Amino acid sequence: MVISCSAYNCTNRQNKESNLIFHRFPLQKGDLLKQWVIATRRKGFTPTRASSLCGDHFLEEDYLVRPGTSRRHLKPDEVPSQFAFPTHLMPKEKQPRLFSEL
């Protein structure tokens, strides 16, 4: 089975030559799952057992390195935060209101 990233506009796939880590959606952790789904900003997306996100969508500090190993493990409650969204999916910045608008 080919593992590919479920993030919007990400074409990463797992292969033998890549050191890229893939993380499955936390289907058993309802609150954390909801945060992951919201973070992906994919309208109508419902993750399955096969859905995963690649390590490109997490920060370096989201990982733990266990002593004696070089393998990184995602911290238990981390939420993906690194996405390349198009402009229409970016959060809108609130503009300060001017006194003349009051």
Q: So where are the chain's domains?
A: 22-101
HSE value, Cβ hemisphere, 13 Å, CA-based, for 13: 4
DSSP 31: H
Give the pLDDT confidence score for residue 102 in this predicted structure: 53
Task: Report pLDDT for 37.
Answer: 94
Provide the pLDDT confidence category of residue 86 given band limits of 50, 70 and 90.
Answer: confident
Read off the pLDDT of residues 20-74 as tens digits, 9 standing for 90 and up: 899 999 999 999 999 999 999 888 999 999 999 999 999 999 999 888 877 888 9
- Structural tokens at position 22: 């893939």
- Report strand pairing: 22-24 vs 72-74: unpaired
Q: Cα separation of 20 and 12, whole Å?
A: 9
Model pTM score: 0.77
